[in-house]
Amino acid sequence: MINSRYARVNPAALSRSKDIPASILADVAGRRGALDGRIRAVAHGMRLCGPAFTVEVRPGDNLMIHAALVLARPGDVLVIDGKADTTSALMGELMCAHAAAAGIAGIVIDGAVRDVATLRQGSMAVFACASNPNGPTRTQSGRIGHPISAGGVSVAPGDLVVGDDDGVVIVPRDDAPRLIEAAEEKIRAEQRRMQDITEGRLVYGWLEGALKASGALPAGSSLDEAVEQFRAAGVFHTPAT
């Protein structure tokens, strides 16, 4: 089943997201949308960003990925539900070279790849959960352009996909403009916090309230008081035996 009738993430939002870390997007999305940590870049420094071109395959079969390489638009990111099967590779050097030649912006596979040494040296950003020298079959039908699950996260065609050394995050297409704006503000806030740290201002503004809300700090006390008590108590040493 092949569906081509879906909208992709807004181009303006996509352009603004190209340099936003995956971790920042996950934070502003409520600590949601990050694929399971088993799915990682095959080489340090790889980054991808683009609309999801979703592919669902039968375990160990890559027929629909071959179709996706022909059907995807330049700038798309292939997001492949390989059922977390790692008994054979779904893509390798040749298919990734095809993807690069077709202008595909990256590949995310909940499954295995092979030819890893070559992929690490290539221009295509590839994220997968394993490697295996076994090749796949290419006889089983699957789906393209339909919602899938990859790394425990629902992915709709056209969603924003961002991947870097921390992993891969999926941002729902309709939420992308709002979350990108929030991500940009969080980046500015973290820059201000880093400046505070550099200049010796080490107590977080939110910390006292969070400690009181959790019950770790009594309601009638303050974090400043707790700090002074610790300083006054000095350093405790375990007596020598």
pLDDT of 173-190, one tens digit each?
999 999 999 999 999 999
In this structure, the answer to whether residues 107 and 36 fall within a common structural domain is: yes
Q: What is the pLDDT of residue 221?
A: 85
Q: What is the pLDDT of residue 237?
A: 55
In this structure, the answer to whether residues 110 and 27 fall within a common structural domain is: yes
Q: How many helices (H) and strands (E) does the chain have?
A: 8, 11
In this structure, the answer to whether residues 210 and 137 fall within a common structural domain is: no
For residue 119, give the H/E element and its range.
helix 116-121
Q: Of 47, 37, 51, 42, whose CA–CA distance to 9 is shortest?
A: 51
In this structure, the answer to whether residues 27 and 126 fall within a common structural domain is: yes
Residue-range definition of the domain harbouring residue 213: 203-233
Q: Does pLDDT of 126 surpass 90?
A: yes
User: 182-193 in b/e burial notation, b at 16+ Cβ within 10 A?
Assistant: bbeebeeeeeee
Please count the structural domains in the chain: 2
In this structure, the answer to whether residues 174 and 221 fall within a common structural domain is: no
Per-chain mean pLDDT for the chain: 93
In this structure, the answer to whether residues 53 and 134 fall within a common structural domain is: yes
Q: Does pLDDT of 147 surpass 60?
A: yes
In this structure, the answer to whether residues 162 and 215 fall within a common structural domain is: no
In this structure, the answer to whether residues 214 and 176 fall within a common structural domain is: no
In this structure, the answer to whether residues 207 and 178 fall within a common structural domain is: no
In this structure, the answer to whether residues 19 and 111 fall within a common structural domain is: yes
* CATH number reported for the structural domain that contains residue 58 in this entry: 3.50.30.40
In this structure, the answer to whether residues 181 and 208 fall within a common structural domain is: no
Alpha carbons 146 and 130: distance in angstroms, whole number: 24
Question: In which band, very low, low, confident or very high, does the pLDDT at 234 lie, cut at 50, 70 and 90?
Answer: low
